[in-house]
Structure 1
Amino acid sequence: MLMDNLRKGFPVLEQYTYLNTAATGLLPEKVWEFRQDHDMDYFLKASILKEKMGDMLTGVRETVGEFFNCAPNRVALIPNFSYGFNSILESIDKPNKALLIENDYPSINWAVESRDFEVVYADMNEDLEANIIEKIEIEKPHFFAFSIVQYINGVKLSLDFLKKLKEKFPELILIADGTQYFGTEKFNFDESVIDIAMSSGYKWMSAGYGNGFMLFNESVQGKLSPKHLGFGSLQGKYKAHEGNFIGKFEPGHYDTLNFGSLKVAIEHIQKIGIDTISDQVNTLKEIARQRFIKAGLLEKWIAERKDFSPLFNIKGNDSLFGDLKGKDIITSLRGEGIRVSMHYFNTEKDLNQLFKALNI
């Protein structure tokens, strides 16, 4: 597929150099059209439309499961990552020991720290993987909760490293946030060693706000005691006859607008091809990385990592951020610098606009 074709249906790209998917992903035209049609149906039909809610949510669950290679009876639909993660933490017996990464996404660290867990941390530096292993060996935590891709600097934990971790510590429960990762490359959940993976859909999945998902390994279900219950816990396929495990993460009435958007967004990704998306993302992130390294805009240890994401934190301040915004280049202030992120609908032209503005 021609790269220019990947930009079609995103009017924001005609107005801005949008390098901010790590904050908010763009809404594809197909998703927008679905949302328009859905709310017109709701406006005209009310409960007649909602009578089909169970069938629609089953379709969403099966689409998510197919895309990530996870059986639909192990897929829970959630409104966002934070809701899902908090419900997981409520399912884990306390007191217990948790391992976190220093300065990881606040919705991870704050949620764990606010509960009756003993918390230990792996330092975020050039020895990150070694730090994680050392902490596990010494502290023997019950679970390790982490982002696959760090939201501030884009540091990525490779799936190969996670497999080695699981081999070395098979009883350790791995709970992964994929919000800054899912949608950038192919991910096979059942071939990974992650016990619980979850994500919001509004970033790299391009599904808009108000939707997300959780993927469960078979073995982890017996180690959790989910407590949420409501009318939605029993409604629909894959729930009651499965011991009602996933239903306990779906207690209420669900918004078919938002979850339908997730289904259409995944279908959009499938139409383009996740390999096509990954190829474009890999091309752009390598160009960006090399240019940022040459200009001395990246921390040395981050620049030298073998596996990296299309999310970078470059040296810069409020003034530079304002200058970029004034030139219609959309980025984010995060941590000590400016976060730049590129997805499949971006092009080398977008990067060149950024490089020109940065004088590099």
Structure 2
Amino acid sequence: MTVDATSDVYFDPYDVTINADPYPTFRRLREEAPLYYNQQRDFFALSRYEDVKRGIVDHGLYSSAKGAILELIRADFPIPSGVLIFEDPPIHDIHRKLLARMFTPRKIAVLEEKIRQYCADSLDPVVGSGKFDFVTDLGALMPMKTISALIGIPEGDQQAVRDYVTEQMKTEAGQPMKAAEEGLVSGEIFADYIDWRVDHPSDDIMTELLNVEFVDETGATRRLTRDELLIYLNVVAGAGNDTTTRLIGWAGKVLAEHPDQRRQLVDDPELIPRAVEELVRFEPPAPHVARYVTRDVEYYGRTVPQGAVMMMLIGAGNRDHRQFAPDGDEFDINREPRAHLGFSVGAHHCLGASLARLEGRVALEEILKRFPEWTVDLPNAVLSSTSTIRGWDCLPAFVP
């Protein structure tokens, strides 16, 4: 299908075949159609690193206020206050500051011991079994426990909450998100916890959000409303669970395919933080983000009209040889560090990036201690069907 005036390259975020390995398509987009238009889905896309970076940063031209996912922008329904990733400054900045104080370096650093114990609790029971699933045995468990501890979710309820927030991102293969038709989930699952915390405060995000005072966009000093609290908790729980789960899954697959680099990490664990950074660059769990175009803009001799949807292809930009020479499609933990887009940039830089880096580092340290060698059982691995977060629902491996 021809969708560009100068190239027959085709990209569709809902295409299951493309999603299984989008990088050949991304490479062609960068070189043949750096401004791409899909007529069937009616969206434009940028794929080169500098274009994607500038686009994400420029919130005046590319607005998040209608959503950051293609089908949500097209649905054009009101976005509830407090959904940070679907807001523009200055309202975004006001809401982000409330959460930023809860993700300070000090608060993240003190989680390391807990995260390491969560990893040990998940990994030790499978030692000696000859097999290990990077997602179901660890990736779906440790991030859930970590973010639940931060928020204040009781242990017995953590899996239900994880399943609830994960289900919001799920799609049928090849289909848009249900939220495009049904609206965003309000976070009502957290209501009982909020009621409990009113009378039983603790050292967690929920308690802090209940009590924090701030100056809102009208200049009024106030506390968060109940609805805002529910939305905040929903956003934090969702962001804290799914992406780190996918990161751990990709670590299993990519390091299996690069055994020499995996052995480097076993021999020199000091390289693990660089490996985590390279993994996020190489296989970003969130491979694209969409924006609403607020005014006409020109790229490569073509005009993108006001009101269009522009997809910023983070996964394509993260492999652009112009930024990651000589070959961005090569995984290399010894690569000279360069800024990537895996945690986004600008106003929407991932608030939990330091937590994700910590979880990724500790997870790899604990995995490699126990399993210095593994091979992935790809015939029995399952790639998630969602079009927005790319990763594995299960990734079984054989271990000595």
The TM-score with structure 1 as length reference comes to 0.30
